Amino acid sequence: MPVAPSSPPVAARAASGSPPDRRVPVLPVASRLTHRDEFASVIRRGHRGGRARLVVHLHSADGVVSPRAGFVVSKAVGKSVVRHRVARRLRHLVGARLAGLPADSLLVVRALPPAATSTSAELGEDLDAGLRTALRKRGAS
């Protein structure tokens, strides 16, 4: 049975449902920590600010020209879908706050199991409180 081609209005409606993704990433690749040794260094040497849902580690490093961030969301947080949802929320929250950090900052945000059932607003509150604590400790040392 031959199929008739779609009319232009129908084709336009079908195509408009999924426009090309040309957005700027929430956290650009240049602003991300990617190597294990970077994570280990920040967690070992950085100043910590802990909260119920997450822990913030902040370290000032020589040779860093702009703040960079990384995320640790372990299997204790939940299954894959839950872990990725938490990581996406954290990436979005940190992306909005990264410009407010000192230029030589390396940041690691470690999600704890209660993050799995938290809203973005709750994660944002904990992130802000953790950053304040870590920045205060960094300034005191």
Q: How confident is the model at residue 93 (pLDDT cuts 50, 70, 90)?
A: very high
Q: Per residue in 20-67, pLDDT tens? A: 556 656 788 889 999 999 999 999 999 999 999 999 999 998 888 899
* Burial of residue 70, with CB atoms counted within 10 A of its CB: 0-12 exposed, 13-18 middle, 19 or more buried: buried
pLDDT of the residue at 119? 96
Enter the DSSP assignment of 7. Answer: P
CA-CA distance, 11 to 65, in Å (whole number)?
47
Phi and psi angles of residue 123, each rounded to the nearest 5 degrees, phi first: -65, -40
pLDDT of the residue at 113? 97
Q: Per residue in 120-136, pLDDT tens? A: 999 999 999 999 999 99
Which pTM value belongs to this model?
0.80
CB neighbour list of residue 110: distance below 8 Å, 6 or more residues apart: 43, 54, 55, 56, 57, 71, 72, 73
